[in-house]
Structure 1
């Protein structure tokens, strides 16, 4: 992947996306909110330590390590909201179609 210069909008979006993925991964693996909150504070501190990296090569290395760490910590059975695709209530009550059931010109 081509290196992206630090402090640009593209890099900011990329790091923000990694941060959101890290938070979701922490949410999937914690059952209590207080444990999740402590984990989010640790994640934020880890991202803040690397906030001022200005060398593109070093930045790529840190991002690659973060991606590897997220892949390693990925939960095998992540939480899916019930009404979202893949959730337990997704399309449970599908609307009845308003079109005629038997096609034809009556």
Structure 2
């Protein structure tokens, strides 16, 4: 292998690893949305991990790309329609509940210097 082809191979592998990592995290968080109780989540999380671990040793780059695409399609098919959003995060029920005051209004913690 030449240096250029080695660099291309390593770059593609790194991109695939990142896509798999992102897919796993998204699927794991979505599994938590579907679980009613934490002990059910643990069982589902173990099953998800086994699915990812089963293909851990695949080396063919094209096969890995196909598996990632199938995994992303399956995840999109089974995504939760109403996912849990942390209340203070964007889209949460408490997000911007207390907006910042407009310019010119002093905060109660602001101390004015007499000088």
Q: Same fold (TM over 0.5)?
A: yes
Partner residue in 1 for 2:100: 95
TM-score, length-scaled by structure 1: 0.82
**Cα-Cα RMSD:** 1.9
Encode CA deviations 1:42-77: one digit per residue, 9 max, x unaligned: 111100001111011211111111011101111110
Contact 2:13 / 2:61 at 8 angstroms: preserved in 1? no
User: Structure 1 stretches of 5 or more lacking a match?
Assistant: 101-106
2:69 maps to which residue?
A: 64
Q: Which has the larger radius of gyration?
A: 2
| Alignment coverage as a number of residue pairs | 97
Question: What SS class does the counterpart of residue 27 from structure 2 fall into?
Answer: helix
CA distance in 2, matches of 1:46, 1:5: 25
Q: CA deviation digits over 1:55-100, x for unaligned, max 9? A: 1121111111101110111111011000000101101111223426
Point out where structure 2 has 5 or more consecutive residues left out of the alignment.
Answer: 1-7, 106-115
| 1:30 alignment partner, one of 19, 35, 50 | 35
Structure 1 segments of 4 or more deviating over 6 A? none
Instruction: Indicate the structure with greater helix content.
Output: 2
Aligned to 2:91: 86
